Amino acid sequence: MKKQDKILTIILIAGLFVFILSADLFFDSYIKRVLNLCAIYTILALSMNLINGFTGLFSLGHAGFMAIGAYVVGIFTVPVEMRSMVFYLKPMHPLIANIELPFFAALILGGLLAALVAFLIGAPVLRLRDDYLAIATLGFSEIIRIIITNAQSITNGSLGIKNIPPTANIWWIFGTAFVTIVFIILLISSSYGRAFKAIREDEIAAEAMGINLFNHKVLSFIIGAFFAGIGGGLYGALLGTVDPKNFLFVLTYNFLLIIVLGGMGSVSGTIISAFIVTAGQEWLRFLDEPLSIGSFDIPLFRPGFRMVVFSILLMLIVLFYRNGLMGTKELNWDMLKRIGSKFSFKRPKGGEAK
Amino acid sequence: MKKVLSILLSVMLVAIMVAGCASSKPSSTPAAPETIKIGVFEPLTGANAAGGELEVEGMKLANKLYPEVLGKKVELVVVDNKSDKAEAASAAARLIEKDKVSAIIGSWGSGYSIAAGNIVKEKKVPAVGASCTNPLVTQGNDYYFRVCFIDPFQGTVMARYAFNKLGAKKAAIIQEVSNDYAVGLASFFKAEFVKLTGDPNSVVETSNYQTGDNDFSAQLTNVKSKNPDVIFAPGNFTESALIIKQAKKLGIKTPFIGGDTWETDEFLKVGGAEVEGAVFSTFFDPSVTMTPESTKFLDEYKKAYPGKEPAAVTALGYDAYILILDAMKRANSSDPVKIREALAATKDFPGAAGPITLDVNGDAVKDAVIKTVKGGKFTYMDTVKAK
């Protein structure tokens, strides 16, 4: 990294810090909520991209890992005195009824538990490839959800848990997102990351080069699941409530959408598209409001229209950018400078770059 | 070809953006003091769109009938929560921060209401749920109210019906375990039934199924072998209709009873002749006018939607709106905190779906209606008084 780029990066990080500080102080709770959701989706999409984009394993089990993280945070951070109120049908299991953990510990525990489950699932399942792996992981994520639904004395079953303390503020969430981004970038550029990419490109060639396929696949799967658990924990804490219906397999497609849109195998692409997809859906809300020209109400503008438009925009991107916005490329200062010099009459603008 | 397409699409995009600016301007700069805004967040797309749509229908009808309060125009701001919890929370935050609503109505589906609960509590804007029946919605939240009764009451009503009217001594439960509503109903049914019979083993079997299942032979064979006098099967309408159908095929003659979710056309369509005689509790029946407001609601509904019977949740959506208006009148203010205080003091308010009294939790204490399927139609049987 050149010295100039280093300085630019430090300025960018400082700029982001100032941005979050001002967001925390001046933005209203609606905008903060959308920003928080963007950052949480960044964590989740990045962890999925590590498995799907960088290692080339077509896994669709993300909602399940998220559910584990969210539930661990839900179960262990609800204050003990409120528990009998939440678990009103069937009291909480006496083993865990009096254990209350601080938010950070619960978050890490959720990530670790998700990683453990990923290890147990991954060991047999990662011998499969492509579509078979997708189906098997999808199945496991549903199994996790159904176990949660039926373990009434631990998870409160389908009633869900509420009163999760709102610890997850903008600092927590953006801080975690930052740590995740840095960790994934370091991992990708380490020898492990290069091995992941080699497996993605050609398994046989990678194996011939001395890469232990199975170990690397499981490692990538476990790390991905760990961050999915962390992301899930933040998601649960942001909402203040979890229930099994949150984690239907459809949720996984949100992240699949983000990584396909941003580019399978691009960290910066994932970050950009997580923000675009999440904030974009909110921004398009004006399409749901009735619009009239003079006294004529245009019949198209009614609830649901924004999703139609959103889908059309997605199809366009997939049609014209076959590899997503970034492909496997990363946004770096050289690229920004090049874009900057192309439009030299405009000042170059830095995005979520690294 | 590609170029033409891309130009076309860019034009479309720009058009949308322009439309966005055009539409957001008038809504953000109306003469602010002249209107009072009531926010509505409902699932209008996604899995629960049908339910949300029905509730909004009732609110719009009420808005047409009572467009003014305190000499100001009332504007309904309807936002979609996409049948998604995160989206529901954002939608509620948007209503409060961006639209500056005085009160909120919603949402179909208790999970979405719970997700929005934290925000209304923190921002001190009262919310009134129309048909969210999970007790957790209002529990520990001073700013959430509802105009419907809750799961415990409905389960209790059906247990009493089974014991007193059917003379049942043994009951079996088949519950949709992935549905908070069904689990709640089933557990309170069991508690009350055991209390009434005085026999801790009077509920002989509890079988579970998941949303979306369509073969219930295992559960039904289990239930059949225990030979109960009545089968309580709270759950989604499609699955419930299938259960009853398959039970008849297996030769089970035991009567089936359930909850308000059965009151849909799909239940009749899927179940056909087999659901004949099924009994369930619900909120409202068009044939029994519970208050003068019911007549008014029914007349207006017939005018607005000729040839359609109003659903119970439509009446509840209507009630949620008029209750908020009434609270504004009583508080003589559109200040959210004052509205909350007035709402909390609601007593014997004449709603379209029966008189409403709100208890300390903010839950409505009101009568339940018992209906049955007769001649391929839902028919009124009885009204059960809330104590």
- pLDDT of B306 reads 86
Q: Between chains, do B114 and A163 touch, taking CB under 8 Å as contact?
A: no
Partners of A320 on chain B (C-beta within 8 Å) are: 2, 6
Percent of chain B with pLDDT over 90: 29
- pLDDT of A274 reads 93
Structure tokens at B113: 């209401």
Taking 60 as the threshold, does the pLDDT of residue A138 lie above it?
yes
Nearest to A93 by CA among A15, A14, A41, A153: A153
Give the pLDDT band (50/70/90) at residue B22. very low
Partners of B85 on chain A (C-beta within 8 Å) are: 239, 241, 243, 246
pLDDT in tens, B194-253: 999 988 889 898 999 988 888 999 999 989 998 899 999 998 888 899 999 999 988 888
Q: Which residues pair with B72 in a beta bridge?
A: B69
- pLDDT of A139 reads 92
CATH number of B152-282: 3.40.50.2300
Write down the mean pLDDT value for chain B: 86
Q: Which domain holds residue A150?
A: 3-342
- Which superfamily, per CATH, for B34-149+291-366? Response regulator (3.40.50.2300)
Please return the burial class of A278, using the count of CB atoms within 10 Å of its CB with bins 0-12, 13-18 and 19+. buried
Q: Pick the residue of A286, A292, A313, A317 with the most B CBs within 10 A to test the interface with B by mutation.
A: A286
Q: Between chains, do A89 and B134 touch, taking CB under 8 Å as contact?
A: no
Q: How many CB pairs under 8 A join A and B?
A: 136
Residue A271 lies in a domain: yes
- pLDDT of A231 reads 95
CA A9, A234, A69 angle in degrees (round to 5)? 120
Q: Which positions 111-170 of B are in contact with A (Cβ < 8 Å)?
A: 111, 114-115, 117-119, 122-123, 134-136, 139-140
Residue B191 phi, psi (nearest 5): -60, -45
Q: Does A310 touch chain B (CB under 8 A)?
A: no
Give the pLDDT band (50/70/90) at residue A1. low
Partners of B80 on chain A (C-beta within 8 Å) are: 288, 303-304, 306
Partners of A239 on chain B (C-beta within 8 Å) are: 85-86, 89, 115, 118
Distance (Å) from the C-alpha of residue A168 to the closest C-alpha of chain B? 13
Taking 60 as the threshold, does the pLDDT of residue B25 lie above it?
no
Q: How far from B141 is each of A243, B43, B90, B98, B138, CA to CA, in Å?
A: 18, 22, 18, 23, 5
Taking CA–CA distances from A37, the nearest residue in chain B reads: B86
- pLDDT of A219 reads 94
Residue A275 CA to residue A268 CA, distance in Å, equals 11
Q: Does A105 touch chain B (CB under 8 A)?
A: no
pLDDT in tens, A156-169: 888 888 888 888 88
pLDDT in tens, B51-107: 888 899 999 999 999 998 888 899 998 888 888 888 899 999 999 998 899 999 988
The domain tally of chain A equals 1
Q: Which positions 242-281 of B are in contact with A (Cβ < 8 Å)?
A: none
Partners of B5 on chain A (C-beta within 8 Å) are: 319
Q: Does A211 touch chain B (CB under 8 A)?
A: no
Residue B3 CA to residue B8 CA, distance in Å, equals 8
Residue A221 CA to residue A140 CA, distance in Å, equals 14
Q: Between chains, do B82 and A88 touch, taking CB under 8 Å as contact?
A: no
Q: Between chains, do A286 and B97 touch, taking CB under 8 Å as contact?
A: no
Q: Does B15 touch chain A (CB under 8 A)?
A: no
Contact call for residues B264 and B234 (beta carbons, < 8 A)? no
Q: Does B23 touch chain A (CB under 8 A)?
A: yes
> How many other β-carbons are positioned within 10 Å of the β-carbon of residue A226?
25
Taking 50 as the threshold, does the pLDDT of residue A354 lie above it?
no
Please return the burial class of A124, using the count of CB atoms within 10 Å of its CB with bins 0-12, 13-18 and 19+. exposed
Residue A352 lies in a domain: no
Residue A18 lies in a domain: yes
pLDDT in tens, B129-187: 988 888 888 888 899 999 988 888 888 999 999 998 888 899 999 998 888 888 889 98
Cβ-based neighbours of B197, under 8 Å, separated by 6 or more? B163, B169
Contact call for residues B341 and B331 (beta carbons, < 8 A)? yes
> In chain B, where are the structural domains located?
34-149+291-366, 152-282
Residue A56 lies in a domain: yes
Residue A277 lies in a domain: yes
CATH code for the domain of A202:
1.10.3470
Q: Identical fold at B34-149+291-366 and B152-282?
A: yes
Distance (Å) from the C-alpha of residue B312 to the closest C-alpha of chain A? 22
Q: How many CA atoms lie within 13 A of B336 on its CB side?
A: 23
pLDDT in tens, A30-88: 899 999 999 999 999 999 999 999 999 999 999 999 999 999 999 999 988 888 888 88
Write down the mean pLDDT value for chain A: 87
